[in-house]
Amino acid sequence: MLEVEIDSFSYGDKTILSNINFDLKPGEHISILGESGCGKSTLLHLIYGLLHLEHGKISYKGKKLLGPKSKLIPGENFMKLVAQEFNIMPYTTVAENLGAHLSRMDEAKDAARIDSLLAVVDMEIYKNTLVKNLSGGQKQRVALAKALANEPEILLLDEPFSNIDTFRKNNLRRNLFKYLKDNDISCITATHDSDEALAFSDHILMLKQGEVEMFASPEKIYGEISNEYQAGFFGEVNVLPKKLFPTKNSSGNLILFPHQLKLSTDNTGFQVRIEANFFKGTHYLVQATWENNEVFFQNPERLEIHSIHWINLGNHDF
């Protein structure tokens, strides 16, 4: 088990992280979700041992991990970090990049290992290509395969799919996270991608200004959103007074996603003016206004611009 206890971490006088506490069990996947500058990359670098943690403790299997002040070469042998700057050799082939981390005692075994890793990241046809001739997304996939060469116990990923197109990304994520689960490799991913965090994580650690905003399973995170910051990671969000809805008589606001609102043929007292339609394939995301406030909802058909409609809650329990 990895145990992370960060009381505080600062760059000079600026505090980057504070009051961060969580455990990572074997084979678990935690996604760190947060806006730019909230400390996601810093947290990974602290865990890996690239930065010195003065106020706090990071332990693995009950043993405190020592930072860069105590080691000639920073980092931990049982961990691999795939940073946003790829640590790959440009003037060697893809296969040679992976092979550099293998034993070289059994040529056939190493070759089979390289082939299996390239299959995970869908790079088999580039096996003998010089890395310098690859695209940014292809280099990122090589960096992922390279990190897995010696099968680490913990894999740290910093925006690991940022340079990969959507077509490749979806398949790669499924293959990679399945491989990690199948091989009981723990993983911590820093990401902006809420779809990725919801679909592939066991837990989500949501950060706000360097502190824990939420830490729970994806289902619990999504089901217990209580403010606009939390909801903002998952798409457009509506912050509307409860008094707008006939079934809500109490004061305060509701945090609602577009799919939680619908058109109504009845006079609900909540009337909006249509401003734009955005086709999403299975539906339209409709942008409307209510008393100079933006309102977003889903509708199966395009609505006429500047038309007026009644809105109500969908079939959801709030």
Task: Calculate mean pLDDT across residues 233-248.
Answer: 85
Whole-angstrom Cα distance, residue 314 to residue 260? 5
CA atoms within 13 A on the CB side of 76: 24
pLDDT of residue 87: 78
- Among the ranges given (43-57, 113-127, 151-165, 243-257), the one the predictor scored with the smallest mean pLDDT: 243-257
Give the model's confidence band at 164: pLDDT under 50 very low, under 70 low, under 90 confident, else very high: confident
Is the model's pLDDT at 75 over the cut of 60? yes
Is the model's pLDDT at 25 over the cut of 80? yes
Is the model's pLDDT at 209 over the cut of 50? yes
Ordered by where they begin, the domains of the chain are: 2-230 (3.40.50.300), 236-313 (2.40.50.140)
pTM, to two decimals: 0.89
pLDDT of residue 17: 95
Neighbour order of strands in the sheet with 211-216:
79-82, 154-158, 186-191, 29-33, 203-208, 211-216
pLDDT of residue 317: 47
Task: Calculate mean pLDDT across residues 192-197.
Answer: 91
**Residue that the structure tokens 């399973």 belong to:** 217
Let me know: does 80 contact 23? Beta carbons within 8 Å: no
Is the model's pLDDT at 278 over the cut of 90? yes
Give the model's confidence band at 83: pLDDT under 50 very low, under 70 low, under 90 confident, else very high: confident
Residue range 97-139, pLDDT digits in tens? 888 878 777 788 889 999 999 999 999 999 999 999 999 889 9
Average of per-residue pLDDT values in the chain: 90
DSSP string covering 168-213: HHHHHHHHHHHHHHHTT-EEEEEES-HHHHHHH-SEEEEEETTEEE
pLDDT of residue 318: 44
